[in-house]
């Protein structure tokens, strides 16, 4: 599975580390844009399997990705 995250998120390093730990077999890539304008700066967002996911907390985003 390929997980794409936006580089404009304020805590991008923390998000990338947590996603890599949670999904060691999957590819986590940092993109310049994942077409979720203005949301990506304020909250953790990801694009997985063509679906755009958002959440208030990193842990809840990981839970949403697990559900896919």
**pLDDT computed for residue 36 by the predictor:** 85
Q: What are phi and psi of 36, to 5 degrees?
A: -125, 55
pTM for the full predicted model = 0.88
Q: Is the pLDDT of residue 21 over 90?
A: yes
The set of long-range contacts for 32-39, using a CB threshold of 8 Å and a minimum separation of 24, is 32/6, 32/7, 33/6, 34/4, 34/5, 34/6, 36/6
Structure tokens at 10: 């304020």
Dump pLDDT digits (tens) for 32-64.
988 888 888 899 999 999 899 999 999 999 999
**pLDDT computed for residue 54 by the predictor:** 93
Domain range summary for the chain, segments of one domain joined by +? 2-61
Question: E strands within 7-57?
Answer: 27-31, 45-48, 51-54
Cβ atoms of 1 and 28 within 8 Å: the answer is no
**pLDDT computed for residue 65 by the predictor:** 93
């Amino acid at each position: 599975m390929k997980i794409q995250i936006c580089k404009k998120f304020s805590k991008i390093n923390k998000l990338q580390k947590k996603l890599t730990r949670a999904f060691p077999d999957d590819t986590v890539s940092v993109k310049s844009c994942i077409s979720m304008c203005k949301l990506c700066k304020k909250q953790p967002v990801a694009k997985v399997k063509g679906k755009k996911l958002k959440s208030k907390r990193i842990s809840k985003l990981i839970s949403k990705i697990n559900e896919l």
